Structure 1
Amino acid sequence: MEKLDEIDLKILRILQQDAKKTTKEVAEMLNLTISPVYERIKRLEKGGYIRKYVALLDKKLVNIPITAICMVSLRYHHEGFIDKFEKQIKALKEVQECYHMAGKVDFFLKINLSSLDEYHELVRLKLSKIENIGVLESYFVLKEITSSTEYVI
């Protein structure tokens, strides 16, 4: 896809803030007509700039108020071990985010759960079954200061 222009960037900013905005509403915000805005949005979707549209839920209202951050260090770092670990982590629905890190730890996991008991069961029955984990450090979020799904573009 060609380079994004300022109108494309404005569309992306608007949709990051509220993906439910209609094409008509986006067009009005940009002082443009609907048709070119519609075509731009379709082009941004096709080009992969917009991967999907989602509803962001309130984790407390859906009873998953506990956020755990797990720092994982592997015992072995050969490509096959890393690939296997990544596959096993992807299979765990409780893991919301996983990042392969540079530095002291190998992986950063973000997990949201309903209780500390549920976290204990996850560690005991699932994470402990992953053979190559050398060290697993758990941290629990006391207060969420800021959280955003928006990129500064």
Structure 2
Amino acid sequence: MIETENPSSIRLDSIDINIIRQLQNNAKITNKDLASQLELTTTPIYERVKRLEKLKVIETYVALINPVKVGKGLMALCMVRLEKHTKEKLAAFEKHVANIPEVVECYHLAGQYDYHLKILVRDMNAFQHFIVNKLSTNENLANVQSSFVMSRITDTTAVPLTEES
């Protein structure tokens, strides 16, 4: 059963964890198949999934697309440093990158760089176009350090869970 310690942390029991593991592996699994795999009946599984959704433990369901298959074969990781760090300048940069489709992930960092961006584009020409015509149009940009992914070693969206989570 789910217990809440504070608004941002939810304690999950072994059934919740197993439900989440199964859904992370296959979000299209039916409640009936999920109940069968966990040796429970459909109704409690349905109720637990709905509760996990209501508590935003399960935020959404998505289809994961192979970027190469849809013509996005170049993945770049960009480390970005800004000139100014006022609340307004940070918010403006975040709004700017949130509106660029090639930016599929953006993280605000502590440390040497301010942001880490994951970029998916067709090829190096498309990356150059992205840098020149999209990213660098933000006037607060001080430095961009880019690396290009040669191969994916691990790539998962699954959150690792244990009963101590």
Q: CA deviation at 1:4?
A: 2.1
- Structure-1 separation of matches of 2:69 and 2:95: 30
TM-score normalised to the size of structure 2? 0.90
Residue 119 of structure 2, aligned match among 111, 121, 131:
111
Is 2:129 the partner of 1:121? yes
Consecutive unaligned residues of structure 1, counting only runs of 5 or more, are: none
Residue aligning to 1:68 = 76
Instruction: Indicate the residue corresponding to 2:56 in structure 1.
Output: 48
The answer to whether structure 1 residue 27 and structure 2 residue 35 are counterparts is yes
Q: Name structure 2 gaps, 5 residues minimum.
A: 4-10
Tell me how far apart the structure 2 counterparts of residues 77 and 4 of structure 1 sit (CA, whole Å): 38
Q: Distance in 2 between matches of 1:94 and 1:102?
A: 23
Partner amino acid for 1:90?
A
Instruction: State the aligned residue count.
Output: 153
Deviation per residue, 1:21-58 (Å, 9 max, x gap): 10001100110000110011011111101111111111
Please point out which of 10, 13, 23 is paired with 1:15.
23
1:87 matched to which residue of 2? Answer: 95
> Which letter does structure 1 place at the counterpart of 2:136?
S
TM-score, normalised to structure 1's length?
Answer: 0.97
Cα distance in 2 for partners of 1:134, 1:54 equals 35
Task: Give the ranges of 4+ consecutive aligned residues of structure 1 lying more than 4 Å apart after TM superposition.
Answer: none
Partner of 2:78, secondary structure, is strand
Cα deviation digits, residues 123-150 of structure 1 (max 9, x gap):
1111111010000111111111111111
